[in-house]
């Protein structure tokens, strides 16, 4: 097996979701974010629709996003159910991140929606792997609050937000993910 293959396989196997509580206080340079986004957009895309749209939050931008999410959380629950602690924790997760990218999708109408979703998910995985190679941890959050961000993200009718991609440098140890053996998931026809 060539050296490159080993590196890619290890990168894939050892990529893990890393959460904001484990991020260290270190900003992610813009040139690195640009590189990660360039990796994202190399994902396969049927009919070259390139449905991915990204909004990148860094620095002061993180404060705007944190405030918006807290506001949307407050608006989404009744006065009785509102938890100040939860509102603060939503805000804190954003502020603990080196960058957060809103993962969005623009439907072209040329292919089924699931194909656009699959392309965006492939782009996100590219980005997660490229980040992992830079020792930047990340995770895809699909909190239901993402459904309330259309106007904040200036999304048009055929656009939607699929999640928030949290990123940060961290000191977590490398680990393999828990997965069922492939025998349970694979049928061989030989
Ligand atoms: C589409 C998608 C949405 C996800 N949403 C969340 C989420 O809202 N909250 C969360 O804690 N993890 C979320 N995750 C991350 C998973 O929890 C994580 O991938 C899983 O636990 C496996 O861990 P690993 O990424 O380290 O292999 C999401 C992952 C994907 C692919």
Nearest residue (CA) to ligand 1, atom 12: 141
Instruction: Give the chain's mean pLDDT.
Output: 96
Residue 129 Cβ < 6 Å to ligand 1: no
Indicate the pLDDT class of residue 4, thresholds 50, 70 and 90.
low
Residue 177 Cβ < 6 Å to ligand 1: yes
Residue 9 in tokens: 């396989």
Indicate the pLDDT class of residue 2, thresholds 50, 70 and 90.
low
Residue 42 in tokens: 């190399």
Distance (Å, whole) CA 83 – CA 60: 25
- When pLDDT is averaged across residues 38-63 and rounded to a whole number, the result is 98
* Percent of residues, the chain, with pLDDT higher than 70: 97
Long-range pairs for 177-184: beta carbons < 8 A, 24 or more residues apart: 177/13, 177/16
Residue of 141, 170, 177, 178 best suited for mutating to test ligand 1, as the one with most atoms within 8 Å of CB: 141
Ligand 1 atom closest to the Cα of residue 162 is 1
Task: Note the pLDDT tens digit of each residue in 96-147.
Answer: 999 999 999 999 999 999 999 999 999 999 999 999 999 999 999 999 999 9
* Percent of residues, the chain, with pLDDT higher than 90: 96
CB 81 within 8 A of CB 140: no
Indicate the pLDDT class of residue 43, thresholds 50, 70 and 90.
very high
Long-range pairs for 82-91: beta carbons < 8 A, 24 or more residues apart: 90/66, 90/145, 91/66, 91/67
């Amino acid at each position: 097996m060539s050296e490159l293959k080993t590196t890619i396989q290890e990168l894939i196997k050892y990529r893990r979701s890393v959460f904001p509580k484990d991020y260290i206080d270190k900003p992610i340079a813009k040139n690195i974010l640009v590189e990660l986004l360039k990796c994202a957009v190399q994902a396969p895309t049927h009919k070259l629709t390139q449905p991915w749209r990204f909004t990148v939050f860094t620095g002061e931008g993180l404060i705007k996003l944190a405030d918006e999410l807290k506001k949307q959380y407050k608006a989404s629950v009744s006065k009785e159910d509102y938890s100040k602690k939860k509102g603060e924790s939503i805000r804190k997760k954003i502020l603990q991140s080196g960058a957060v990218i809103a993962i969005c999708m623009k439907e072209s109408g040329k292919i089924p929606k699931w194909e656009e979703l699959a392309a965006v998910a492939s782009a996100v995985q590219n980005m997660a792997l490229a980040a992992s190679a830079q020792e930047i941890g990340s995770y895809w959050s699909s909190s239901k609050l993402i459904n309330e961000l259309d106007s904040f993200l200036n999304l048009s009718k055929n656009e939607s937000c699929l999640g928030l991609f949290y990123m940060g440098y961290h000191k977590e140890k490398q680990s393999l993910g828990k997965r069922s053996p492939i025998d349970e998931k694979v049928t061989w026809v030989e």
